Homo-oligomer: A and B are copies of this chain.
């Protein structure tokens, strides 16, 4: 008998029929003798509808009140789900964030869970009930409702799994697992059976939108195994787990890409202490998130500094940086929106030599010019011209031995 925490996203509970199907699935698992905690998101489209209403009143609605409004979506989901389960003859009970003991800080709209008191959940489980908990919401020290930000239901599920010492946290979604790369651009993409937390974190932040990144951080911290799987199929998905020796046998586990960044270069800035901080000060102040930063060693007392920002912040950044460039006497500022970042990821990189060399050679063989390079312990990212993105992903996927066997190509 296991304690299983399951989380179903908005598309999985997007209609009364789907809620009924999920209820049936959960009851079947419960009947095998497992204790079930089911975290739900709002029905697909509902959260957006609520935001639209609020925006009709104010473009920047009060965050505390917006959370009160938004949390109604998950509240409706769990109530309907409990009604469905009880209609099918199984005991059930819904709990909202404040009832499930999910305590957060008071950063409305992006609150962080700091503590879970699972007493009430356990008491309900002990009474043989399927317990369904509203995802995405908690309560702060003042007794106010908070929400955890988009994708927060994943975090709710993992936090509950940690607090309950659950055997597994299953995240149900509309794909059947985590792939070695995006199957839409690489038909040979393969569903992974296992992925390490750190690899998942890199995959998630690089654009593979299967799991909310904060939920993976949480899972890593409390060593909660996550099973990412499809609501609409019964097959095994991908286990996100702590690193094992086995994982290190493979140098590269996946290939990720990101087309949502733009590049800014300050050419020939005087190479003096404090110059970088002067350049970035107005950018950070404007709340713009800078991703890669590369500074070359100086020549003739001058240095080039290149960095990437989200495309949506490109023009704003160009304006800010051009102003600074004039002040510090840099030669000029260049920008480029037509770039993409391609990354290879794998905990095996720590022990395998020559991975970077192989990546660069592979791209060179296809005449793909590398504009920027950045590396971490388990990842190498190259910025290239955007038009080569798909080609780069496919050749890297193949080079590092990730292609599926021709006979059993996986598809989403």
Contact check: which of B69, B76, B120 meets A80 at CB < 8 Å?
B69
Shortest CB-to-CB span from A114 to chain B, Å, is: 20
CB atoms of A19 and B57 under 8 A apart? yes
Q: List 12 interface pairs A-B (beta carbons < 8 Å), by A numbering.
A: A20-B57, A57-B84, A62-B83, A62-B87, A65-B82, A65-B86, A65-B92, A68-B82, A68-B94, A68-B96, A69-B76, A72-B79
Contact check: which of B16, B58, B99 meets A143 at CB < 8 Å?
B99
Q: How far is the CA of A182 from the CA of B343 in the complex (A)?
A: 75
Q: Which of A47-88 contact B (CB under 8 A)?
A: 50, 53-54, 56-58, 61-62, 64-66, 68-69, 71-72, 75-76, 78-80, 82-84, 86-87
Residues of B near A98 (CB, < 8 A) are 98
CB atoms of B57 and A68 under 8 A apart? no
Number of copies: 2
CB atoms of A53 and B16 under 8 A apart? yes
Q: How far is the CA of A96 from the CA of B144 in the complex (A)?
A: 9
CB atoms of B62 and A82 under 8 A apart? yes
CB atoms of A87 and B58 under 8 A apart? yes
Residues of B near A58 (CB, < 8 A) are 83-84, 86-87
Q: Chain B: which residue is nearest A132 at the CB level?
A: B65
Interface of A (DSSP majority class): helix
Which A residues lie at the B interface, using CB under 8 A?
A: 16, 19-20, 50, 53-54, 56-58, 61-62, 64-66, 68-69, 71-72, 75-76, 78-80, 82-84, 86-87, 92-94, 96, 98-99, 120, 143-145
Q: How far is the CA of A83 from the CA of B52 in the complex (A)?
A: 13
Given A61-B87, A62-B83, A68-B75, 8 new contacts (CB under 8 A)? A16-B53, A16-B56, A50-B76, A58-B86, A65-B86, A65-B94, A69-B79, A75-B75
Q: Chain B: which residue is nearest A68 at the CB level?
A: B79
Q: How far is the CA of A58 from the CA of B62 in the complex (A)?
A: 37
CB atoms of A66 and B54 under 8 A apart? no
